[in-house]
Structure 1
Amino acid sequence: MLGKSDLPSPTRSFYPAMPISDTKARQAKPKDKAYRLADDNGLYLDVQPSGRKSWRVRYFVDGKEGIYTIGQYPGVGLKEARAGRDWAKHHAANGVHPKKAKEKERAAERREQVNTFGVLAEEWYRHESGRWSAYYARQVRKGFDNDILPALGDRPIKEITPADILELITGIADRGAPSVATLVRQWIGAVYGHAINTLRVESDPTQALRRTVRRVPTKHSTSLTPARLADLSRDIDNSKCYRLTQIAMQVLMLTMLRTGEMRQGLWQEIDWERKEWRVPKEKMKRRIPHVVPLSDQVMALLTDLHGYTGGRDIMFPNNRRPNEFMTNTTINTSLVRMGWGGEFSGHGFRATASTLLNQHGWRGDLIEKQLAHSPGDKVRAAYNHADYLDDRRRMLQWWADYIDGLKHDAGQVPSAPIPA
C-alpha cells in the first residue's frame, strides 16, 4: 500500500530534477493503486493496477488545468511521448485544448484519405468531358483506366510526388509511346489544377516534369498530287474492301470531313431535300456545329449506303458489331491493305483537298470553313456555322467533278472560280 508520502505532490514531483528513463518506464510494476512516474514539464507515466501504462501530460488553458492522454506504453515510447507533450503544450499555449486539436487533425486526415487521386480524377472527368468530342473523351478515359489510375488512383492526392509521376510517364515512354506519356502528364496536371481550384491541394507536381518527355515530331498528312489522287481513287473503286468501307473512303475524300466525324454519322443528320449533312457540335473537334453541302456524287454514294444500313441509325456501323460505329482504325487499315499505308492516312484526304483547292484558286476562307477550322471568335463561329454555304456547295461539287475527271482520265479540269 502506498502511503501519503509516496504520492507525488502537485507542485514538486511533476518537475523532478532528473527525468525518467525508458528503462524505469519499462520496469515500473503495477501496485494496488494507480500511481504516476513523473518525467518533465507536466509529462508523466500513469501506471494502473491492471498493468496498463499510459503517457499523460498536464496543461493549462485560460488558467484551468487539463489532462491529455498521449498514448499507451510501450506502444508509444518515451521519445514519442515527449514529442506528444511538446505538441500538446504548443496548442495549449495558443488557447486550444489538445483533444480538440487532435480531433481536428484526424478529421483532416480522413478528408485526405477520401481525397484520393482517383476520386479527384473522376470529378475532373465528369466536369470536363461534356465539352469534349466523343473520340477525345474515350481517349482520356482509356489513358486513365490503363495507365494513370492503376498507378495513382488509390493514393491520397497530397502524397503523390513528382518522382511518382516521373516513374509513370517514363515507363510509358520506354514502351515506345512518348506521345501517350506527354498526354498522361498533361491529364494528371489537369486533375491537379482541378484539385487546386477546389482547395484540395496547393501545388501541381507535374510542373517540374514539363520537359521530361518530348513528343515525336508530328508527321503531317501527305497531300497527294493530282496523278496520285487519281491512282488512289481508282484503287478504292477496285479494292476488295467491304462496300461499306469503300463508300466511307469515297465520302471522306469528297466531303473534307474528319475521319471521326464521318464514321460516327447518323442517318438523322442527313437532310436529303437540302442535300446537307448537319454534324452536331458534340461530334466536332472544336465543338461547333458544322453543315456539309453534299455534291451529286456524295448523294449517290449515300443512296447506295442507305441500301445497306438505312434500317439502322448508324450510317457506317462496325462490321462485327452493327450497333456500334466503325472503328477508328478501319480506314487506315484498309489503306495499308491497298498498299497506301506508308504514304497516306485517312486524314490525308483533307490535306489533299485543301492543297489542290487552293492551287485551283478557291478562296482560303471557303476552304478553312469547309475544314471546320473555327475562327478566333468562337462565339461568332457558333452562330455562323452555315457561313458561305452556297459557295461551299459550288466548291464541293467542283471538287467531286475534278476527282471524277482525274479518275477517268478526262483530261479536262472543270472551271474554277477566279480568285477573290
Structure 2
Amino acid sequence: MGKNNQLQDIQVKQAKPTKETYYLFDGLGLYLEVTPNNAKIWKFRYTYNGKRKKTSFQSYPKVSLKQARKKRDNYNELLFDGIDPIEYYKEQKELKQIEDTSSFKNIFTQWLEMEKSKSGLAQYQWKKTRIENDILPFIGNKKIKDIKIQDVTNVLIEKNKTAPVTASKLFGYLKSIYSYAKTKGYIEINLLSDINKTHIISSSQVISYPKITEKENLKDLVNSIYNYQGFYSVKNALKLVLHLPLRAGNLCNLQWSNIDFDNKLLIISRDEMKVKDKNFDDFRMPLTDEVINILNEQKSYTGYQKFIFLGTNNRTPINVESPNKALKIMGFDDEVNGRKITLHGFRGTFRSLIDTLDIDSNFSFETKERALDHHEKSKVVRAYTHKSDYINQLIPLMNFWSDYILSLKN
C-alpha cells in the first residue's frame, strides 16, 4: 500500500462509531477496528504456514498510530525470519514471568507449598525454619540462575562447622529445590547434582544431645522451668516435655486435636512422626494428671485455637529454638558441669534416668523405648511387633516418671 493510502493521525482520531463495526486499513497487515461503542482497537493479521492469524495491539489512543506501526514492523520482521510472532511473544511473556519470579526465595516458597502435602507438620515446619534461618539470609534475594556453586557451598560449609547433621539435611533440601526449579524452567542445570556432598559436609555421626542426668542439676532444671517468668507458651512447653519426652518438632507443633481429654491420651498421626512407616499405628501416649494440668493451664491462655503452644503472633506455633533460648537464659548451657540441655535432650534425660530409677525392673525395655517412639530395627522382629499396643504398660511408666519429676520440685 502506498503512503498516500496509509492512515493519517487525524483519521484515527476523528473516526466515529456507526451501527456496524468497520475497519480502517493502514497496510502490511495493520488495521483499526472501530466498534459501535466507540472502541478503537489495533489489529494485525498475517499468514503463517498457510494459516490466517490475527492478534490485537491494544486500543487507541493507549497505543498511537506510530506505536502500532512499530509493533507491526516488529511482527513482520519475525515473519520474514520464519517465526510466528504470536508464539514468539507468548514465549517471551512466559520467560519474563519466570524471570520476575525467579528469586531463590520465591522458588523456595513454591517448593515448600508442594512439600506440605508430602511432609508431616513437624517436618514441614522444620524445613521451613531451617531454610529461612540458614539459607535465605545469604541467597534468598538472588535470582536462582545467578547463584554460583560457591554461594551454596559456602553456606553449607559454615553450617557444617557447628551442625553437620543439619548441613547434610539442608544439602538434600537444596538439591530438591534446584530439581524443582529445573523442572519449572527457572534453570537448565541443577548445580548440586555435580557436588559430592562428602567434600563439604562431614560424615553423619550419631549425635549425643546434651542431657542432664545428675539429680541436683535435674532438680534445679525442674524448679527453674516451673518458676520461669518468660513467655507462657515456652514455659508450658518446657513443663510438658519434662513429663512427656516428645521430639522437639512434635512438641512445638502439638495441636488440640492431638489431645483426647476423655481418655487422657496424646495421639499423633504416624505421618507427623520421625518414623513414618505406615505399617505402624499412630503414636499414642497416656497423659498423667500433671500433663493434663499443664494443658488446662495453657488452654486458659490460648483457648481452643489450632496449636497448643501458640507463638507471640497468636496464629502459628512457637519456634523450636524458643525453648532452647529459654534454657540458656535459665543457665542450662554449661556442658562441663553437666548443666547443659536442649529441647531434644529431655528425651535422653528420660531414657537414661528411667533405667536408673527402675531398680525393680517394673518396666520392660520395649515399653521404655515405645515412650520415645523407638522401634525395633530388625525387619523380622518388626513384622511381629509393629501393631503391639503398649498403652497399658505406658500408663504406669509415665505416672512413675511424672511423679519423680514432681518430687524434685521445691
TM-score by length of 2: 0.58
Structure 1 segment 345-360 matched on structure 2, within 5 A: 345-359=342-356, 360=358
Residue matched to 1:369: 370
Residue matched to 1:234: 223
Contact (CA 8 Å) 1:277, 1:292: kept in 2 or not? yes
Structure 1 segment 129-278 matched on structure 2, within 5 A: 129-132=116-119, 133-139=123-129, 141-142=131-132, 145-148=136-139, 150-151=141-142, 153-154=144-145, 164-170=148-154, 173=157, 179=163, 182-191=168-177, 205-215=192-202, 218=207, 220-278=209-267
% identical aligned pairs: 19
Residue matched to 2:400: 398
Does residue 1:299 correspond to 2:292, yes or no? yes
Q: Give 1:309 shift.
A: 2.1
Residue matched to 2:301: 308
Deviations 1:385-415 (A, max 9, x none): 773111112111110112223435xxxxxxx
Q: 1:185 to 1:266 in 2, by over 3 A?
A: closer
Contact (CA 8 Å) 1:189, 1:206: kept in 2 or not? yes
Query: Paired residues, what number?
Result: 295
Q: 1:230 to 1:174 in 2, by over 3 A?
A: closer
The code of the aligned residue for 1:402 comes to Y
**Higher mean C-alpha deviation, range 384-393 or range 187-196:** 187-196
- What SS is found at the alignment partner of 1:211? helix
Task: Determine which structure has more spread, i.e. the larger CA radius of gyration.
Answer: 1
Deviations 1:133-162 (A, max 9, x none): 23233136525644455456135xxxx8xx
Counterpart Cα distance in 1 of 2:233 and 2:130: 29
Q: Give 1:271 shift.
A: 0.9
Contact (CA 8 Å) 1:290, 1:385: kept in 2 or not? no
Counterpart Cα distance in 1 of 2:388 and 2:139: 41
Q: 1:184 to 1:346 in 2, by over 3 A?
A: closer
Counterpart Cα distance in 2 of 1:366 and 1:140: 33
The code of the aligned residue for 1:333 comes to K
The code of the aligned residue for 1:373 comes to H
The code of the aligned residue for 2:400 comes to W
Counterpart Cα distance in 2 of 1:323 and 1:130: 20
Counterpart Cα distance in 1 of 2:400 and 2:175: 46
Q: 1:123 to 1:341 in 2, by over 3 A?
A: same
- What SS is found at the alignment partner of 1:222? coil
Q: 1:296 to 1:327 in 2, by over 3 A?
A: same
> What 5-or-longer segments of structure 2 have no aligned partner?
1-80, 83-87, 335-339
- What SS is found at the alignment partner of 1:131? coil
TM-score by length of 1: 0.57
Q: Give 1:286 shift.
A: 3.3
Residue matched to 1:407: 409
